[in-house]
Amino acid sequence: MTSNVTGYHQSTASLIIPVNTEEVQALVRTARASGQKLYPISTGLNWGYGSRSPVTEDNILVDLSRLNRILNADEISVDNPVAVIEPGVTQRQLYDFLQANCPELTFNVTGAGGATSILGNALDRGVGYFGPRKDDVFGLELVTGAGEILQTGFRRLGEPSPLAHSHPFGLGPMLDGIFFQSNFGIVTSACFRLLPRRPVEVAVSMALRKPENLAEFIDELARLKRDGLLTSVTHIGNRPRTHTTLMCGITRYLERHGLTAAAAAGEAEQVLGIVAPNAWTGLAAVTGNRGQVSSAIREIRARIGSYAAIRIVTERRLDIGATLLRPFNFLPAARAQAAAIDAVRPLHSLALGVPTDVAIDNLLWKFGSPGQQPTALDQSRCGLLFINPALPADGRRVAALVRDLEAIGDRFRHHLYMTINIETTTSLVAIINLLFERDQPEQVERAHRCADGLYACIREHGLEVYRARADMMHQVIEDNAYWRTIRHLKDVFDPDNVIAPGRYNLPL
């Protein structure tokens, strides 16, 4: 059995951990001959979507975590900002490598934690703080379900070609995209774009004053994105999301400064009421040279200042605030502000490209497992389900959907922990999670019924999720021309249905 935070369990036949592409190829060929099914995972930390769980029973888990090399480590530079990475390369590994070898570069991080796979997340169309991760990846190497090694784009020209790791498009039809959210093969490496650090990097916090202005707030933030003034994805979190993100950090700060656990928990609630009272709070980054950032901030204040309270967050401002408040920690008001600064630090860093485990630490703390390694989340009592709709850049439609989704959450006695992300210049996504006690069968069942209700509501609005859990594949796959075409492509690349049967595809 493969247990995970969704409460969804699927039996597996065995576990194999290959160490290179050739071993993956041999494994696929053996599976074709035997009829055995394979389910590849990168690090298996796809929390809230199924983690290591296959869609169908009795697959062999193919754990790619030992394929963890940065293949062109000696070639990465400011003038060559591409890392060729294997699926076992984690956010923390790449960050530490760049800090040691090329600190002028960063990359598109997510809040999922330092131990999560970069390629695993990108291939499932995860969203980082600087945009969709699918845009960061090109030049794949993979083993198809037919047992062939395929390299896409100009990577097919081999290492001697200067185009192999630089030109993202290649010649002829682009194959890269059909291996995102597909079950046609097992990706063993890919080119991953890196980003130059800018001279000035600040985070902008925007607290919406009146919740009834959510639609106008979203529309104006989308315009700022299109105008290039907000240089990252803008995350707009509702109050439950903001509070659960800050609660652990604030409580721990108060405990470190002399309060008992019970007193710290009670005061943390009061702190949140002071520092994060708003129904919706946005967070984005503005980067560039000093003049660009100053001009962008002035424009942001002019355009959304009537809707939101705006705070500019920098490391220097956080340091100054903490220093000024430290002597007055005996005063509850000063202690509240100092605790908030301490909790905000990792979120500020994340918005500027530094991986953090704070989101996972918060969940472990919330469910009574503080101090455990973040990779132990699937072994905790935490129950977590994601339901994530893709959205148009239309504040009125988004606000209407939010109201309907919140009504469904109320019906099932669930808080919706929700972030609306302005992902591209023309579209948004929402990240919605449900939390529950996984060792309580009633809570597991109710959470899944709530998730089903949320998905039905999304479809009623003419929308769809952009990423699906393993346990909801049967809901998102329909027998229509689109999915039949995907099924035909499966026959080309994986004629014996060896790789991840049922995942983003029609069943046989």
Whole-number mean pLDDT of the chain? Answer: 95
Give the separation between CA 101 and CA 76, rounded to whole angstroms. Answer: 9
* pLDDT score, position 352: 79
Instruction: Indicate the pLDDT class of residue 275, thresholds 50, 70 and 90.
Output: confident
Give the separation between CA 465 and CA 390, rounded to whole angstroms. Answer: 5
In a domain, 406, yes or no: yes
* pLDDT score, position 74: 96
Q: Are residues 329 and 433 in the same domain?
A: no
- Name residues whose C-beta falls within 8 Å of residue 401's C-beta, 6 or more positions apart in sequence: 389, 391, 430, 457, 458, 461, 463
Pick the closest to residue 194 from 108, 75, 135 (CA basis).
108
Does 457 score more than 50 pLDDT? yes
Query: What is the DSSP pairing of strand 382-392 with strand 465-467?
Result: antiparallel
* pLDDT score, position 300: 97
Instruction: Indicate the pLDDT class of residue 452, thresholds 50, 70 and 90.
Output: very high
Q: Any idea which residue has 């503080």 for tokens?
A: 370
pLDDT tens column, 31-75: 999 999 999 999 999 999 999 999 999 999 999 999 999 999 999
Looking at residues 347-355, what average pLDDT do you find? 84
Q: Determine if residue 437 is left, alpha or beta; phi over 0 gives left, psi from -120 to 50 gives alpha, anything else beta.
A: beta
Pick the closest to residue 383 from 431, 460, 448 (CA basis).
448
Q: Are residues 181 and 266 in the same domain?
A: no
Q: Are residues 275 and 208 in the same domain?
A: yes
Rounded to 5 degrees, φ, ψ at 165 are -115, 15
Give the separation between CA 250 and CA 144, rounded to whole angstroms. Answer: 48
Identify whether the C-beta of residue 309 lies closer than 8 Å to the C-beta of residue 206.
yes
In a domain, 481, yes or no: no
Q: Are residues 365 and 418 in the same domain?
A: no
Among 243-257, 426-440, 446-460, 465-479, name the one with the lowest average pLDDT: 243-257
Positive or negative CA dihedral for 138, 140, 145, 150? positive
* pLDDT score, position 3: 81
Work out how many domains the chain is built from and give that number.
3
Pick the closest to residue 31 from 424, 479, 497 (CA basis).
497
- Of 340, 372, 404, the residue at which a domain comes to its end is 372
Q: Are residues 313 and 239 in the same domain?
A: yes
Positive or negative CA dihedral for 135, 424, 352, 289? positive
* pLDDT score, position 461: 98
Does 365 score more than 50 pLDDT? yes
Give the separation between CA 72 and CA 84, rounded to whole angstroms. Answer: 6
Q: Are residues 359 and 385 in the same domain?
A: no
* pLDDT score, position 56: 95
Instruction: Indicate the pLDDT class of residue 508, thresholds 50, 70 and 90.
Output: confident
The enclosing domain of 409 has a CATH number of 3.40.462.10
* pLDDT score, position 1: 41
Quote the percentage of the chain above a pLDDT of 70.
Answer: 100
pTM metric for this prediction: 0.94
Q: Are residues 209 and 152 in the same domain?
A: no
Owning domain of residue 184: 73-196
> Please, what is the end-to-end C-alpha distance for the chain in angstroms?
24
Pick the closest to residue 124 from 374, 418, 426, 466 (CA basis).
466
314 vs 187: which has the higher pLDDT? 187
In a domain, 430, yes or no: yes
Q: Any idea which residue has 């169908």 for tokens?
A: 56
Q: Three-class SS of residue 115?
A: coil
Inter-CA distances, 500 with 125, 308, 417, 508, Å: 17, 46, 30, 12
The enclosing domain of 161 has a CATH number of 3.30.465.10
Q: Are residues 431 and 300 in the same domain?
A: no
Q: Are residues 211 and 276 in the same domain?
A: yes
Instruction: Indicate the pLDDT class of residue 261, thresholds 50, 70 and 90.
Output: confident
Q: Are residues 191 and 247 in the same domain?
A: no
Q: Are residues 188 and 335 in the same domain?
A: no
Does 208 score more than 60 pLDDT? yes
Does 173 score more than 60 pLDDT? yes
Does 156 score more than 70 pLDDT? yes
